[in-house]
Amino acid sequence: MSQFSFTIDAECPETWARAGTIQTPHGTIQTPIFMPVGTQATVKSVSAEELREARVAIILANTYHLMLRPGSQLIAEFGGLHRFMHWDGPILTDSGGFQVFSLGHLRKLSEEGVAFKSHLDGSLHQLTPENVMEIESQLGADIILPLDICASYPCTPEAAKEAMEVTHRWAERALIARERFPSGQTLFGIVQGAFEAELRQQSARFIGGLPFPGLAIGGLSVGEPKAEMWDLMRYVTPELPKGKPRHLLGVGSPEDFVTGVGLGMDMFDCALPTRVARHGGLFTRYGRINIKSARYRTGHAPIEEDCDCYTCRNYCAAYIHHLARSGEQLYYRLGSIHNLRYMLRLSSQLRAAIIAGTYAAFRNYFLTQYIPTSEQVREKQREKWKAARRNL
């Protein structure tokens, strides 16, 4: 018996924003929600207790990384991810497809699935819609995703169509395969279609019509300009069934979170808040600051004056600046905690605004206050991270 349900608690009268409640075997999630990414079954440098204190409701873990190391079979022997990583709240695992396409070497794509070489040791692996269901059942997350193809940006309309059609066939195979692994897990469908509005709509209708209790939008935020992503979402959302939760995969900077909610999305995940924190980028209502900057050397106030996170309640900006400049381990933890709490506080603020019927005003005010990082800076960071990944 599935213990999964989704109810809509309130809808914005002016936009597509909605507030909802998701029930999972490991607890309740109130939406809109930001989900931190715990790639290796850990949100880097932050313990489960600290995640709880930051009011994290659900985390995402990466199937690709965990199947390669330590192995899904081993995690199953420890009772699944929840027990293995000492996190008793909801978990979502992706299918591994996205990482195969971005990290795996010598990929070989066929109708059957995708074969690749591990980026760790060069060993050969294959993912199919069927074995991904088995691997994810071993990991034991509450919400799981089927194998899909994430087309790269830019991509020709022909390649986009081909990737979408294979993704659709794999979605049907995943639905059949998951019957073999009885569990309390809930399988979401993934909408693809790359950067073609018509394909996106077609995919939303097709995947939305299959018996998936929830839907994810994949293949966005892969290097395209933000405006293009939001344009596509304006085509996609009206085609999605209303009563299912919607997860915008891999999107989760503060400004994208606030904007995406207005386009009808409920769940967001992104490694960005913890990743930029480790590099000195901390969120405030006025935008991202660089805590390593000299202007914080003598700051007596916390990073953000009225932030209720553990870091801001206990430390002044000057100390955080000192830790960051010295490359101290404690900095990674304190910086990550601040950004996580910022995103979770933003989740509850968005929800409260939707319930109060003031989301549109909240969004407009937030976006005038919050100065986002420019596309140019973003591009530079992406290049840096790509280079770092190549050296893994």
Residues belonging to the active site? 94, 269
Distance of alpha carbon 34 from its chain centroid, rounded? 8
Nearer to Zn ion, 191 or 337 (CB): 337
Q: Which stretch binds Zn ion (CB under 5 A): 51-59, 99-107, 304-312, 353-361?
A: 304-312
Q: For residue 266, give the amino acid letter.
A: D
Half-sphere exposure of 298 (CA within 13 A, CB side): 0
Distance of alpha carbon 156 from its chain centroid, rounded? 26
Nearer to Zn ion, 101 or 257 (CB): 257
Nearer to Zn ion, 22 or 46 (CB): 46
Question: Looking only at residues 328 through 387 of this chain, which bind Zn ion when binding is defined by CB under 5 A?
Answer: 338
Q: Which stretch binds Zn ion (CB under 5 A): 6-14, 126-134, 287-295, 310-318?
A: 310-318
Three-class SS state of 245: coil
238 vs 234: CA distance, rounded Å: 7
Q: How far is the CB of 308 from Zn ion (least distance, A)?
A: 7
Q: For residue 25, give the amino acid letter.
A: P
Indicate whether 309 belongs to the interface with Zn ion (CB under 5 A).
yes
| DSSP β-bridge partners for residue 283 | 288
Applying CB under 5 A, the site for Zn ion has a residue count of 5
Nearer to Zn ion, 56 or 312 (CB): 312
**H or E element at residue 332:** helix 329-356
Three-class SS state of 31: strand
Q: What are phi and psi of 82, to 5 degrees?
A: -55, -50
Q: Which stretch binds Zn ion (CB under 5 A): 124-132, 199-207, 312-320, 365-373?
A: 312-320
Q: What is the DSSP letter of 309?
A: S
Indicate whether 147 belongs to the interface with Zn ion (CB under 5 A).
no
Indicate whether 312 belongs to the interface with Zn ion (CB under 5 A).
yes
Q: How far is the CB of 19 from Zn ion (least distance, A)?
A: 24
Indicate whether 282 belongs to the interface with Zn ion (CB under 5 A).
no
Tokens 């004056």 identify what position?
305
Indicate whether 307 belongs to the interface with Zn ion (CB under 5 A).
yes
Nearer to Zn ion, 183 or 311 (CB): 311
Indicate whether 222 belongs to the interface with Zn ion (CB under 5 A).
no
Q: How far is the CB of 356 from Zn ion (least distance, A)?
A: 24
- The 3-state DSSP composition of the chain as helix, strand, coil percent (nearest 5) reads 45, 20, 35
Residues lying near Zn ion in the complex (CB under 5 A):
307, 309, 311-312, 338
